Amino acid sequence: MAAETPSWAQQAGQVSRLRGRAFEAICLASTSLALVSVMVLLLFVANDAFRPFEAEPALTFAIPVLPGLELFVVPVVLPAYLLVFGATLGLPVALTALYYYRRDDPAGEVAYATLGLPIVSLLVSAGVLVMFIEVLTVSELFATELALLVAVGAIYGHARLRPRKAVERLAIIIVAPVVALAGLPPAMFNDIVNGIAGLAGVGPVLTTRLFSVRELVLASPFLPVRWVMLLATVTLPVVAIFAPILARRRESREAGLALGGLSMIVAALGLVAAPALGVGSDVWIVVASVTVPPLAVYVEGVVRRREGMAGLAFPLVLIGGALAGWLLVQQVGFGMPDPWLDWGFLTNAHSRFSAEKTGIYPPLVGSVMMLFAIVILIFPVGVGAAIYLEEYAPSQGLAGKFVTLIEINIGNLAGVPSVVYGLLGLALFIRFLSMPVGAIIVGALAVGLLILPIVIISAQEAIRAVPDSHREASYGMGATRWQTIRDVVLPQAFPGILTGTILALGRAIGETAPLLMIGMPAIVRRAPDGFFATGSAMPRQIFRWSKEFDPLYRHGVLAAGVVTLLVVLLIMNGTAIILRNKFQREETA
């Protein structure tokens, strides 16, 4: 820093308060300006999407902003149904929230989580259902899971029987899933070889192959009935994840078994209860299987710790208030608004004739499938890269230089404009590898490469946060580097990696420019039925709607699309934040 005498050193005694106050006010105003302006815009778009003030009957009056001045009079329209809901839902919720805030209890967080968990689970189950309807049948999923089980069993069995044969095991880890899922050689390989042979004028070359477990199951005449398969493919895996958590926490196998039994019963109850409620039993089973186990584990934890138990009441207040308000409005006969964003919007395709009938279903499915593909394609690579950079990378010599280059490069790639990734996708996947134009998989690859640096950087941070002493303890007990990573580093870093990945996926779901560059079509009438099928995604569809000049689109359909996208994003980011908070609390505890 320069060595001149600072101005304040000479003029002691002439301290002006005004300048400092003004400066602080300007700084505060700047901070709020960005926040408030975006908040107002969000309110406008929500108003356009839901039209909450357009319902009869309504109270209308005018509020003079400046008393005595006739110029600024704000007309207010307050529909009756809003007043009812305000009394039954808004007021109780506000009071409960105030109670949580004032008592500064962990109850607020519990309320947030008990409300958020079912919503997140519902979203996940919606994703699962969409995959069912559009891509896989239940029996295909059943066969796939059975095949995976066989593969895992083979690997586990080998580890049990021949624990020392590490190379053999590596081979089995690679071969077993291929045999179980695709057969040897995979059917596609045979098709390609035979296709080439056919072009060359030779008959089919490869006629025999080892069938995969998946194919055998699908071909077997003894497939169980649909609901048994659903229970086996959806409920069992979820239970298998959550029951051990509960069993470990309570240190009793019975608790885990009880949770498993409870979830199975609730799910199976759908066979009886769902038709009575007018829902499909498939929907019930899927929703119940993904909601009940995590919620049960969370509620059990809250009750056991006896911390913030008041928060458990929050969802009840919410649901009870909404139900009461709805019943009252129905009884009295008040009109409800007609929002743009409704069930029809979520389940219809774009309509050429009427803005009222337009919907976002195919792009919604496309977005879900893209997220799915991105997770499968990018997550392992990103975490692998982070593991190399944090655990293996040499810091000296030529290799060390190369690692430094990789690190700098990752930082720079995070700043490359998204449209350039789109060009890369166009040039590499479509023009060079001639993959289908506008396919879901191409979009997933382009956007996936875009978020890869973000995934790597956040995974690196999570891995770096694992204390070195744990690694050294593991080495001291004779573990190799990979064993240390697998059994010590990754389990501890996993929540952090997960948080970072979800945030990166939030970025991915809103990316538009790469999708435009790889030629995703503007309008898709049917949801894509596979990863190589042409599909659209939510932001792509929204961009298309922004080209319509009709006010029904400008202030209706467009707003509904934007709100749908933002809600999905909000839920994803909220999940990430809950995970991060939970992780940090366990860290400090």
Partner 1 sequence: MSTETADEITSRPSERATVERMYRYVFFACASVSIAVTLGIVGLLGWNAVEFFTLPEVNPVGFFTGTEFLLSRDQFGVLPLLTGTLLVTIISAMIALPIGTAAAVYLSEYASDRARSVLKPALEILAGIPTVVYGIFALVYVTPFLRTFGFPLNTFNVLSASVMVGIMIIPMVSSLSEDAMSAVPDSLRQAAYGMGATKFEVSTGVVIPAAISGIFSSYILALSRAIGETMIVAVAMGSRSRMFDFANPLQNLWEGNQPMTAAMVQINSADNVSGPGFLSMFAIGMTLFVVTFLMNLASNRIAARYREEYE
Q: Least separation, in Å, of the C-beta of 126 and partner 1?
A: 20
Nearer to partner 1, 116 or 519 (CB): 519
Q: Of these, 3, 12, 63, 66, which contacts partner 1 (CB under 8 A)?
A: 12
Q: Is residue 134 a contact point for partner 1 (CB under 8 A)?
A: no
Q: Is residue 49 a contact point for partner 1 (CB under 8 A)?
A: no
Q: Is residue 419 a contact point for partner 1 (CB under 8 A)?
A: yes
Task: Please provide the DSSP assignment of 438-477 as one string.
Answer: TBHHHHHHHHHHHHHHHHHHHHHHHHHTS-HHHHHHHHHT
Nearer to partner 1, 43 or 184 (CB): 43
* Segment lying near partner 1 (by CB under 8 A), choices 111-119, 336-344, 346-354, 551-559: 551-559
Nearer to partner 1, 30 or 469 (CB): 30
Is 477 exposed, middle or buried (CB count within 10 Å of its CB: 0-12, 13-18, 19+)? exposed
Nearer to partner 1, 121 or 564 (CB): 564
Q: Of these, 31, 137, 220, 330, which contacts partner 1 (CB under 8 A)?
A: 31
Q: Is residue 34 a contact point for partner 1 (CB under 8 A)?
A: yes
Assess whether the previous peptide bond of 224 is cis (omega < 30° from 0). no
Q: Of these, 110, 151, 179, 449, which contacts partner 1 (CB under 8 A)?
A: 449
353 three-class SS: coil
Residues 6+ apart with CB under 8 A from 366: 440, 443, 524, 527, 528, 535, 536, 537, 538, 540
Q: Of these, 428, 435, 523, 567, which contacts partner 1 (CB under 8 A)?
A: 428
Nearer to partner 1, 347 or 409 (CB): 409
Nearer to partner 1, 230 or 385 (CB): 385
82 three-class SS: helix
Q: Amino acid identity, residue 496? A: G
Nearer to partner 1, 175 or 336 (CB): 175
Nearer to partner 1, 41 or 465 (CB): 41
Site for partner 1 in 164-223 (CB under 8 A): 164-167, 169-170
Site for partner 1 in 262-291 (CB under 8 A): none
Q: Is residue 506 a contact point for partner 1 (CB under 8 A)?
A: yes
Structure tokens at 311: 């928060």
Q: Of these, 107, 150, 360, 410, which contacts partner 1 (CB under 8 A)?
A: 410
Helix 440-464 vs helix 490-510: crossing angle, to nearest 10: 140
d(CA 508, CA 46): 23
Q: Of these, 222, 343, 353, 432, which contacts partner 1 (CB under 8 A)?
A: 432
Q: Least separation, in Å, of the C-beta of 99 and partner 1?
A: 19
Site for partner 1 in 145-174 (CB under 8 A): 159, 163-167, 169-170
Site for partner 1 in 55-114 (CB under 8 A): none
Nearer to partner 1, 64 or 417 (CB): 417
Q: Find, among 225, 224, 227, 230, the residue nearest to 271 by Cα.
A: 227
78 three-class SS: strand
Q: Of these, 178, 519, 567, 578, which contacts partner 1 (CB under 8 A)?
A: 519
d(CA 109, CA 121): 18
Structure tokens at 227: 């609901």
Q: Is residue 119 a contact point for partner 1 (CB under 8 A)?
A: no
Number of residues that bind partner 1 (CB under 8 A): 103
Q: Amino acid identity, residue 1? A: M
Nearer to partner 1, 32 or 347 (CB): 32
Site for partner 1 in 552-571 (CB under 8 A): 554-555, 558-559, 562, 565-566, 569
Query: How remote is the C-alpha of 185 from its chain's centroid?
Result: 35
- The neighbour count for residue 351, using CB atoms within 10 Å, is 14
Site for partner 1 in 350-409 (CB under 8 A): 380-385, 387-389, 391-393, 403, 405-406, 408-409
Residues 6+ apart with CB under 8 A from 284: 267, 269, 270, 273, 274, 277
Q: Of these, 114, 418, 501, 564, which contacts partner 1 (CB under 8 A)?
A: 418
Nearer to partner 1, 25 or 206 (CB): 25
**CA torsion angle 100 106 108 110 (round to 10):** -140
Is 336 exposed, middle or buried (CB count within 10 Å of its CB: 0-12, 13-18, 19+)? middle
